[in-house]
Amino acid sequence: MNDRIEHDSMGEVRVPADRYWGAQTERSRNNFKIGAGHEQMPDEIIHAFGILKKAAALTNRMLRPDKMTEEKCRAVCAACDEIIAGTLTEHFPLVVFQTGSGTQSNMNANEVIANRGNELAGAPLLHPNDDVNMSQSSNDTFPTAMHISAVLSIKNTLLPALNVLIATLLRLEKENTDAIKSGRTHLQDATPIRFSQEISGWRASLERDREMIERALPPLCELALGGTAVGTGLNAPLGFDTEVARQVSLLTGIGFCTAENKFHALTSKDELVFAHGALKALAADLWKIANDIRWLASGPRNGLGEVFIPENEPGSSIMPGKVNPTQCEAVTMVAVQVIGNDTAIGLAASQGNFELNVFMPVLAYNFLQSVRLLADVIISFDGHCASGIVANRQKMKDNLNSSLMLVTALNPYIGYENAAKTAKLAYSEGITLREACIRLGFLTSERFDEVFHPEDMV
């Protein structure tokens, strides 16, 4: 492989000739071979850097036209457009476990933009620090990239996926209003419930999760950019922070704004902790829903068997004909990962020592992984499981009719204690509630038939 010589303040470095990164990226690549090839800086962060660097160039063109000339601005923007389009991803080789401020990823972006911009311009116009990083610091660009990537990933992938599953549950609700089944509490038989009512609980949980996630977006739309090194805005022109946030808004179509207190924006990551708490709530509800569905589909003969779910692949290498609720299992595994990520994010956010948090790359990595996994598993679960759920109405009816908790309908007529005696006799002797109630003399056969209507208990 051919190399070229790049230099930084520490001296010369050999860099692969076919890559746009420079000396500082190469130093990081050699010094932090931790999870290389596996735990790379997320693509969403790289995409966000393309947006914020373009916004910064446009803002500097307005506020510092003597330094950010039209020619330089055009070159920066052209290179940034390629980053935003995802065509330069291979030029961002750095891992998550590097400097805790993300400085080297910021310099990776600066170097790639400078070298690619110079190539496009056909002249050595751009310096990675003086031009591409103008009015910025790694300490305000990386937090900004974190917020931009978080908002875009939630709005563009997670919420649309969640809306698909909610729509599926709404359809299933409408299709199952006449299906009455046994309710269950403590994994024990309980009073009847419509299957549509049970589904509505799932649907409402996801709608509430969506609401909480949406409530977390406005704080994430506040950007640290303009705070530079420690929050004072040193080396950034007056008004840079508000204008660069406006430019980010124009580039994304989302209403970003500058953070009111840059000292907070650089050191505290509470907005990401809050937002991930909503993601954890979604994971918890998805876990519950997936468990409900696989319990209801258990069997096919020795379980509850009250719903049919799609059979997607063989379930055993030794038991012929076995089919497992694999999509439900995928949901629960993603939920475990997201809940684990929440712990990592909380711990990382607690490390805002003095003027800077130095756990930002791992925080961003875990946050974006949660969004990505949740969006993917929701689409998979919807397409391969939830959308194909069919009620086993006969099994629901059989289970309902054998439930001793239907005796609850007799409480107003024979009282709680006599109803309990009726249920216990029916259970111990394997007879019906009707037979037990009549044998105990609590109701005549005619009166029992008059008052006992399980379908009215929902």
What does the pLDDT look like over 274-288, one tens digit per residue? 999 999 999 999 999
Is residue 249 annotated as part of the catalytic site, yes or no? Answer: no
- With contact defined as beta carbons under 8 Å apart, do 438 and 448 qualify? yes
Give yes or no: residues 413 and 351 share one domain: no
State how far the Cα of 377 lies from the Cα of 332, in Å rounded to an integer. 10
Give yes or no: residues 228 and 366 share one domain: yes
Give yes or no: residues 33 and 104 share one domain: yes
3-state secondary structure of 8: strand
Q: Which CATH number characterizes residue 20's domain?
A: 1.10.275.10
Give yes or no: residues 84 and 191 share one domain: no
Tokens of 424: 């216990």
Could you list the residue range(s) of the whole structural domain that residue 227 is in?
140-394
Q: What is the pLDDT of residues 120-170, one digit of tens each?
A: 999 999 999 999 999 999 999 999 999 999 999 999 999 999 999 999 999
Give yes or no: residues 427 and 330 share one domain: no
Q: What is the pLDDT of residues 94-129, one digit of tens each?
A: 999 999 999 999 999 999 999 999 999 999 999 999
DSSP-derived secondary structure for 437-457: HHHTTSS-HHHHHHH--GGGG
Is residue 186 annotated as part of the catalytic site, yes or no? Answer: yes
Give yes or no: residues 271 and 367 share one domain: yes
In the block, tokens 């044998």 appear at 439
- With contact defined as beta carbons under 8 Å apart, do 293 and 307 qualify? yes
Which residue intervals of 180-324 are DSSP H helices? 195-220, 240-252, 262-267, 270-296
Give yes or no: residues 219 and 244 share one domain: yes
Phi then psi for residue 18, to 5 deg, are -95, 15
Q: How far is CA 305 from the centre of its chain?
A: 31
Give the torsion through C-alpha atoms of 205, 207, 210, 211, to 10 deg.
Answer: -100
Q: What is the pLDDT of residues 304-337, one digit of tens each?
A: 999 999 999 898 888 888 889 999 999 999 999 9
From the list 316, 350, 402, 445, the catalytic residue is: 316
Give yes or no: residues 127 and 174 share one domain: no
Q: What is the pLDDT of residues 353-388, one digit of tens each?
A: 999 999 999 999 999 999 999 999 999 999 999 999
From the list 38, 186, 317, 428, the catalytic residue is: 186
Strand partners, 308: 390
| pLDDT surpassing 80 at residue 1 | no
Give yes or no: residues 262 and 411 share one domain: no
* Domain count of the fold of the chain: 3
Choose the final residue of a domain: 105, 134, 163.
134
Q: State the pTM of this model.
A: 0.96
State how far the Cα of 453 lies from the Cα of 458, in Å rounded to an integer. 10
Phi then psi for residue 136, to 5 deg, are -130, 170
Give yes or no: residues 229 and 95 share one domain: no
Choose the final residue of a domain: 88, 111, 134.
134
3-state secondary structure of 415: coil
Give yes or no: residues 125 and 266 share one domain: no
Give the torsion through C-alpha atoms of 355, 357, 360, 366, to 10 deg.
Answer: -150
